[in-house]
């Protein structure tokens, strides 16, 4: 990672460059995969301070990503035993989007702030797209803040073992956030809507091309006794997916997603946190029948046409983390302990 920045009288110029490489391998039964990924990212950005209340920023970004797959698949997806026939599939995928963007932020006064941005690919070798966003920030007093935002966003999918393709993903999003803050107390509330389109895959390797989400979030945080802080948060997610067969609930369609934590922070002694996470079980598509395959002497499962119609048991976890910071001159040692799922619940 390399960063260069030059400051001018009314702004600054910044150049960033990144390179990373990874080599991943896994095997399970008769499945095997070797994925090599290389990524080069370069960006040039300039921020111009037109006044104390108005800033303008623009730039360009070049990304060069290459994926090399060396995979072995089972000829029968429902059986990965070592003695089941396999086939090889090698492929090389690359993605080289070059994007330009413009962004401006206007502080109208001490209460109102507007911001807007545009982003588009400059060299349109495969897909032409335009991303846009707009936000209004209203702060009537130091205690209260409202943020209304909306936008259309684009990015590309990351290929994986079972879905070896790079597809353009598009989402439309809108959100309203409220923040109330006084000394020792903070309340956050939000409602949002998101519509995503493209090609997606879930844990069951089911392909779908649209995801619609509606969410409501609430968080309450309270500090007390100088070193303690307690937090409660809950999220409601109504999420649906669209496949060639119709519209179904997603695996993460949750009536609640509850989080609670109690933290103790004292640098002279130690820091500790006891946290609880609880949510309903994820949905899945059950097996509704079977048919015998004499070629490999195995039964082939037949899945229900009603996608995500069954549900795992609720998932609850109580966790503990403790850490201590030991300064040693110009160096330091951090010791930590983490205990996950203290109650040893057999979550699915």
* pLDDT score for 124: 62
Model confidence at 294, pLDDT cuts 50, 70, 90, reads very high
Give the range among 23-27, 48-52, 123-127 with minimum mean pLDDT: 123-127
> How big is the chain, counted in residues?
348
Burial of 308 (0-12, 13-18, 19+ CB in 10 A): buried
* pLDDT score for 126: 67
Distance CA 207, CA 167 (A): 13
Find the mean pLDDT for residues 257-274: 94
Provide the 8-state DSSP code for 309: -
Provide the 8-state DSSP code for 312: P
* pLDDT score for 65: 94
Residue 64 pLDDT > 70, yes or no?
Answer: yes
* pLDDT score for 45: 96
Percentage of the residues of the chain whose pLDDT score is greater than 70: 99
Find the mean pLDDT for residues 234-242: 95
Three-state SS string across 24-91, please? EEEEECCEEEEEEEEEEEEEEEEEEECCCCEEEEEEEEEEEEEEEEEEEEECCCCCCCCCCCEEEEEE
* pLDDT score for 189: 98
The count of other CB atoms within 10 Å of the CB of residue 235 is: 17
Cβ neighbours of residue 331 under 8 Å, at least 6 residues apart?
A: none
Distance CA 128, CA 269 (A): 56
* pLDDT score for 128: 84
Model confidence at 52, pLDDT cuts 50, 70, 90, reads confident
The predicted-structure confidence for 118-129, as pLDDT tens digits, reads as follows: 999 887 666 789
* pLDDT score for 125: 61
Mean pLDDT of the chain: 92
* pLDDT score for 267: 83
Per-residue b or e along 183-214, where b marks 16 or more CB atoms closer than 10 Å to that residue's CB: eeebebebebebebebebebeeebebeebbbe
* pLDDT score for 162: 83
């Amino acid at each position: 990672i390399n960063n260069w920045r030059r400051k001018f009288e009314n702004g600054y110029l910044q150049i960033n460059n990144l390179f990373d490489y990874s080599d991943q391998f896994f095997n399970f039964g008769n499945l095997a995969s070797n994925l090599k990924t290389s990524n080069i990212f370069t960006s040039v950005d300039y921020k111009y301070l037109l006044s104390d209340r108005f800033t303008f920023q623009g730039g360009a970004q070049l990304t060069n990503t290459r994926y090399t797959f060396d995979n072995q698949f089972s000829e029968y997806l429902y059986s990965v035993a070592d003695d089941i026939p396999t086939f090889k599939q090698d492929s090389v995928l690359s993605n080289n989007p070059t994007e330009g963007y413009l962004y401006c932020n206007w502080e109208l006064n001490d209460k109102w702030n507007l911001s807007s941005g545009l982003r588009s690919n400059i060299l349109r070798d495969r897909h032409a797209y335009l991303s846009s966003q707009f936000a209004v920030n209203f702060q009537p007093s130091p205690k209260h803040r409202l943020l209304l935002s909306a936008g259309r966003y684009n990015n590309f999918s990351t290929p994986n073992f079972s879905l070896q393709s790079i597809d353009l993903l598009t989402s439309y999003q809108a959100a309203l956030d409220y923040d109330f803050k006084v000394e020792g107390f903070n309340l956050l509330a939000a409602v949002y809507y998101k519509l995503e389109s493209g090609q997606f895959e879930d844990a069951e390797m089911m392909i779908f091309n649209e995801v619609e989400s509606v969410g409501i979030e609430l968080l309450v945080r309270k500090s007390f006794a100088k070193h303690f802080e307690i937090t409660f948060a809950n999220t409601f997610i109504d999420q649906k997916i669209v496949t060639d067969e119709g519209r179904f609930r997603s695996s993460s369609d949750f009536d609640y997603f509850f989080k609670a934590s109690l933290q103790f922070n004292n640098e002279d002694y130690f820091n500790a946190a006891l946290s609880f996470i609880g949510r309903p079980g994820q949905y899945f598509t059950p097996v509704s029948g079977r048919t015998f395959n004499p070629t490999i002497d195995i039964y082939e499962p037949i899945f229900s046409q009603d996608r995500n119609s069954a549900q795992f048991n609720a998932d609850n976890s109580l966790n503990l983390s403790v850490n201590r910071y030991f300064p040693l001159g110009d160096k330091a040692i951090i010791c930590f302990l983490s205990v996950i799922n203290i109650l040893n619940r057999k979550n699915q």
